[in-house]
Structure 1
Amino acid sequence: MMARRTPWWYYVAALMIGAAFGVAIVKTAEVTGLSLLGAPWIVAVVLVLLGVIVLIFALQVHQYAITDPAKRRSWINPTKAVYTLVSAKALGLAGAGLVGWYLGQLLLCLPHFEASYYREVIIQCAVNAVVCLADMVVGIVGEWLCQLPPSEGPENPNLKRKWRRSQRTASAGAV
């Protein structure tokens, strides 16, 4: 299986889609009078814990991947490594979408800062936006940490250089 890095524009698209939905929810709340804005504080706590767990697993996978096979003292389950990679990708994209969601709400609630309800929503959205931005960064870094070094197969850059050198010396010796 060949996993590819998530393109940068996926994060931008998720952020913009999240912002559009955040703006839409504020407009809906203003029209209907429903209390749909902000988020409970437990959301920030859960998102922080999720980011920490994904980062710990990504660091374990990275440590295993960079350790010389002859010096490895432990073995890592390949399924755990793949799940960690998928979790890091999902955390990065979900973090980007949620940053947009909370920023969209925050920006439309700023003009109503005097009202205590909106002040609380602005504080909740600001805290959650910062936490989600951190989760997005953890997801991107975690995805990078889960990269494997190139194998000793034909795509390895070191083998390609060795092959080119051997071709040059062979052609120089044939002349």
Structure 2
Amino acid sequence: MKVRRTPWWQYVIGAVLGLLAGMGLALYGEQSGLSLIGTPWVVAGLLAVLGLIVLVLALQVHKYANTDPKKRPHSFINPTVAVNTLVLAKALGLAGAALAGWYVGQILMSVSHIEAPFYHDAIIQCAVTAVVCVADMIIGIIGEWLCQLPPNEGPENPKLAEAKRRQEVAKAYREQ
């Protein structure tokens, strides 16, 4: 199974869709009188904890994958845990982008009412949560990178490719 890195444009699409949804929610709240903007503080806390958990798991996978097999401790990481960590990192990155857009969209639509205490508090809540979501997106991208396996000793290994190139150059030099 070959897993590819998440392309940059998927993060942009997630952020744009989140932005439009957040703006739409704030606009709907203004028109209907039912305000749904803002976020409880516990959401920012849970998102921060989730990001830290994914980062710790990704660091463990990276440490295990890049340690010489002869020097690895007796405890090992289950391959299922490593794959699940990669999936979590990908999901955290994309969800962080979409949620950051969601909260920024709410901020943009509510900033004209900042003098009202409700909107002022909602904008602060959304700003803090948006910062946490951007941090989660970055942690997801880094976590995805940390879960990469080092190249094996097969034909795609850069060391072997370089050695083969040197052999060919030496052979061509000897034939001259």
Q: TM-score range by the shorter chain?
A: over 0.9
Superposed CA offset, 1:8-36 (max 9, x none): 11111111110000000001101111121
What letter matches 1:115 in structure 2?
A
Instruction: Provide the C-alpha distance between the structure 2 equivalents of 1:46 and 1:142, rounded to a whole number of angstroms.
Output: 18
Q: What one-letter code is carried by the residue in structure 2 that aligns with 1:23? A: M
Which position in structure 2 is the counterpart of 1:155? 156
Q: Report the equivalent of 1:140.
A: 141
State the match for 2:7 in structure 1: 7
Whole-Å separation in 1 of the counterparts to 2:76 and 2:160: 26
For 1:174 and 1:22, how far apart are their aligned partners in 2?
A: 69
Q: Distance in 2 between matches of 1:151 and 1:140?
A: 23
Taking the aligned partners of 1:131 and 1:94, their CA distance within structure 2 comes to 12
- Number of the residue aligned with 1:124: 125
> So what's the TM-score if we normalise by structure 2?
0.96
How far did 1:107 drift? 1.1
1:89 equivalent in alignment to 2:90: yes
Partner of 1:164: 165
Partner of 1:58: 58
Q: Shift in Å at residue 173 of structure 1? A: 2.9
Alignment of 1:19-34 (within 5 A): 19-34=19-34
Amino acid paired to 2:2: M
**How far, CA to CA, are the matches of 1:164 and 1:126 in structure 2?**
54
Pairwise CA RMSD: 1.0
How far apart, in 1, do the equivalents of 2:35 and 2:20 lie? Answer: 18
Q: Which amino acid aligns with 2:163?
A: K
1:67 Cα deviation from its structure 2 partner: 0.9
Whether contact under 8 Å (2:97, 2:133) holds in the other structure is yes
Whether 1:111 aligns to 2:112 is yes
Shift of 1:164: 1.4
One-letter identity of the residue aligned with 1:48: A
1:132 Cα deviation after fit: 0.4
Give the whole-Å Cα distance in 2 for the aligned partners of 1:170 and 1:104: 63
Is contact 2:61–2:146 with CA below 8 Å preserved after alignment?
A: yes
Secondary structure of the residue that 1:70 maps to in structure 2?
A: coil
Report the counterpart of residue 49 of structure 2 in structure 1: 49
* 1:172 to partner: Cα distance: 2.9
Contact 2:26 2:35 in 1 (8 A): no
Whole-angstrom CA distance in 2 between matches of 1:128 and 1:57: 23
* Cα distance in 1, alignment partners of residues 95 and 122 from structure 2: 21
Unaligned runs of 5+ in 1: none
2:71 equivalent in structure 1: 71
Q: Percent identity?
A: 58
Q: Scaled by the length of structure 1, what TM-score is found?
A: 0.96
In structure 2, what is the Cα distance between the partners aligned to 1:50 and 1:5?
21
